[in-house]
Structure 1
Amino acid sequence: MTSSLNEQMTVSTTMLPHYDSPLPTLYEPQPQPPKPRLMFKMPRVVPDQKSKFESDELFRRLARETEQVRYTGHRDRPSEERRQKFQNQCRDGYTEIAFVSSGTNLQLSFTPTQGGYSPDLDFNKDPGKVHIKSHFIMNGVCVRWRGCLDLERLDGVGCLEFDEDAARLEDAILRDELEKYKAKLREFEDKQRPFKPFAAASTAK
């Protein structure tokens, strides 16, 4: 008897129609308008490059022309293979060196050779040596590395110099970025100004 009643009470819900509400449910997150953001491009250089180059202890040490440098690439390879790789890298437009006394490592890049010649490389000035120039930004300062390495020993001397021409160009870019940021800041403040009296009135109530 109990089994018969249970069978009669069983209701199938598989055929009930699915109801799609046109309204969003209460727990669904509603899309929010994007918040205004002020984007400022991080400057590549410091405001007073020359002053930092002349006063910073690291720059002052690396600016000595007698500072010994050494090629650091492929240190796990045999000597002859390293010599060949160093010359190939130079012709491809890059190499790695380190200042021996301070342990400062630099990745140098320069104009690749075309037809055996490059304005940044000179294999002919001193037999068995290569003279290299490389321009880059270090710690927010435009500098030029100038040095000479022995093609046999893979060491030599080099120093950093302040690159006035590159610094002038980067200073102009920095000033332009600052002006753009200030203009965006003024525009942002102008857009926010109409809402400030309303916010003040709401606070007063």
Structure 2
Amino acid sequence: MRSGGVTLLAVMLLKMPRVVSDQKAIFESNELFRRLSREAEIRYTGFRDRANEERQLRFQNSCQQGRAEIAFVNTGTNLSLQFFPWNVENTQNMSPPKDYVNFDREQGKVHLKAPFILNGVCVMWKGWLHLHRLEGMGCIEYDEERARIEASRIVSPQNINQNHKHPSSGGNESQLEKRSRLR
């Protein structure tokens, strides 16, 4: 159904929250989050069909560009991570900050940090990988600061109903309701 160039699905997606209402409780009680929050073995999963030397080079290049594919070995969980602060939107042609990609902290290793939303919960992935073996250790942590910001963006059902009342109930017509009616 289209109305004025806007589909009903697009309107619903714009109002759908990115996060769940009680993120911390879900992070603490959900089995997946419990497993991923324990420091565990991780591996770089990019370019598995290439020679090890090429994979090492591609891993270092992708880290310098601010991204990499990492897997938790014990759960098989694969993540495509971006190593930039969550408030940075356009990362093209940018180098990640040193506290998100640090090659200098420990010789032969890179320390990484990546914020993202997993199953509606704001988390921060932290870990390190050995530059030659492409293995290391990592885990996720609950991101309290981002959770607060994302939670403040949640549109409550009351706000939606107030903004889009049907004319018969005394509200103003929204763009969706101005479409021509079948008679």
Tell me the TM-score range normalised by the shorter chain.
0.7 to 0.9
**Counterpart check, 1:130 vs 2:106:** no
- What are the ranges of 5 or more consecutive residues in structure 2 without an aligned counterpart? 85-93, 171-183
Q: How far apart in 2 are the matches of 1:87 and 1:129?
A: 10
Equivalent runs, 1:129-168 vs 2, <5 Å: 129-168=109-148
Shift of the 110–178 alpha-carbon distance from structure 1 to 2, 3 Å rule, reads farther
**Per-residue displacement from partner, 1:117-143 (whole Å, max 9, x unpaired)?**
623011111100000000000000000
Q: Secondary structure at the match of 1:97?
A: strand
User: What is the aligned residue count?
Assistant: 153
Larger Rg: 1
CA distance in 1, matches of 2:147, 2:158: 18
In the superposition, the TM-score normalised over structure 2's length comes to 0.77
SS of corresponding position for 1:125: coil
Aligned-pair CA distance for 1:177? 5.5
Q: As a proportion of its length, which structure holds more helix?
A: 1
Over aligned residues, Cα RMSD in angstroms? Answer: 2.1
Question: 1:93 and 1:119 mapped to 2: Cα distance?
Answer: 12
Partners in 2 of 1:150 and 1:178 — Cα distance?
48
Percent identity reads 49
- Could you say which residue in structure 2 is the equivalent of 1:100? 73
Q: What is the Cα deviation at residue 73 of structure 1?
A: 0.1
Q: Which residue of 2 aligns with 1:113?
A: 95
Q: TM-score, normalised by structure 1?
A: 0.69
Within 5 A, what are the aligned runs for 1:24-35?
A: none
The CA distance in 2 between the partners of 1:89 and 1:183, in whole Å, is 46
5+ long unaligned stretches in structure 1: 1-32, 195-205
Distance 1:153 1:177 in 2: 48
Aligned counterpart, 1:18? none
TM-superposed CA distance for 1:178, in Å, is 4.2
| Structure 2 residue aligned with 1:57 | 31
What does residue 181 of structure 1 align with? 160
AA aligned to 1:155 is: E
**Relative contact order higher in (CA < 8 Å, ≥ 6 apart):** 2
Aligned with 2:153: secondary structure?
A: helix
Match of 2:87 in 1: none
The code of the aligned residue for 1:89 comes to S
Runs of 4+ that moved beyond 2 A: 37-40, 111-114, 176-180
How big is the shift at 1:70? 0.3
Report which of the two has the higher share of strand: 2
